[in-house]
Amino acid sequence: MPTSPSLKGVILAGGTGSRLFPLTKITNKHLLPIYDRPMISYAVEAMVGAGVDEVMIVTGGTHAGEFLRLLGNGHEAGLSRLMYAYQENPGGIAEALGLAARFAGSDPVVVMLADNVFEQSIVTAIDAFRAEPEGARVILSEMADAAHLSHLGVAKLGDDGVISEIVEKPADPPSRFAVTGVYCYESSVFDVIQTLEPSGRGELEITDVNNFYAREGRLRYDVVQGFWGDAGESIDGYYVVNDYVREHGANRAPSTAGA
C-alpha cells in the first residue's frame, strides 16, 4: 500500500502590524501576549494538536530573530522540525506562503495565519484534508454579527459541498460564513502562486489562490464550532481575543462539522 504524503505546516507571522500600532512599534504583532503566552504560541499549539509536527514559520521585519529566541528548534513546543523563512517585504500572504515551497517539496501543506485563535481544535478539518489531500480546504466560521462580514472574506457555498467563490469585503455577503486564516493545499499551490498578479495594493492575495481552486470545483470546507478571533484585525479585536482566551482557553477538544 502506498504511503500517503506527510502534511507540512506553514505559520505566517509577517506583516507590518499597522492595525495594532503603537503596540507593534517595538515588536512583531505575533509576539504580543494573548493572555499568558505570545500570540504565535497558539498557532504552534494548533498545529501540534492537529498532528502536524514539521513546521516553517515565515516572518519578516526587524524583530524576526525574536521568533528563534522564543521557539528555538521547536522541540519544547512539540515539533519534531521547525524551520524559518524571511519575507523581505510585505508582499502579501500568498507571497509569504511561496517562500515555503522548498520546505514543503511535494507534500501538501496546512497554512495558518499566526494571529488567528480558535477556541476549539482544528484537528477534524486537518484530518479530513489529510485523508484526501487534493485541491484545497478552508475553515469557515459562522458569524453572528452580519455587519462584520463586510470586513472579511465570505464564502459563497454551492450545493455540492464545495465553495464556488470567496468574496472579499462584500457589501452584500453571499452567506454568513467567513473564511478564517487556516488553509490546506495540495503541493500544486506553489505553481498557482507563480501565476498570480499583484492586487491593487501591490500584494499577492491568498483569496486569489483560493478562488483558483474554487473555479476548478476543488475548494472544500469545514465549519469550526466555537469562538474564532483575528487578534491582528484591530486593537479592539486584539483585546476581544485576549479576554476570550483568558476566560475560556484555546485549541480545546475538537468539534467541527463540514462538507
Across 173-178, average pLDDT: 95
**CATH code of the domain in which 162 resides:** 3.90.550.10
183 is a domain residue: yes
Residue 174 lies in a domain: yes
Q: Is residue 77 part of a domain?
A: yes
So what's the pLDDT on residue 5?
A: 64
Rg over CA atoms, the chain:
17
Average pLDDT value for the chain: 93
The total number of structural domains that make up the chain: 1
Closest to 136 (Cα-Cα) out of 180, 187, 179: 187
Nearest alpha-carbon partner for 135 in 163, 113, 177 = 163
pLDDT at 17: 83
According to the model, what pLDDT value does residue 256 have?
43
Q: Give the H or E element holding residue 184.
A: strand 177-185
Residue 135 lies in a domain: yes
> Is there a domain that residue 22 lies in?
yes
Q: Where does the pLDDT of residue 2 fall: very low under 50, low under 70, confident under 90, or very high at 90 and above? A: very low
CA distances from 102 to 51, 153, 161, 231, 239 (A): 21, 28, 32, 29, 36
Separation CA 81–CA 159 (nearest Å)? 40
What is the span of the domain harbouring residue 197?
8-248
1 pLDDT more than 50 = no
* Residue 223 maps to a domain: yes
pLDDT band at 80; cut points 50, 70, 90:
very high
> pLDDT digits over 29-63, tens only?
999 999 999 999 999 999 999 999 999 999 998 89
Read off the pLDDT band of 257 (50, 70, 90). very low
CA distance 42 to 35: 11
Q: With 50 as the cut, is the pLDDT of residue 99 above it?
A: yes
HSE, side-chain direction, 13 A CA sphere, residue 197? 1
Residue 254 falls within a domain, yes or no?
A: no
Is 109 part of a structural domain of the chain? yes
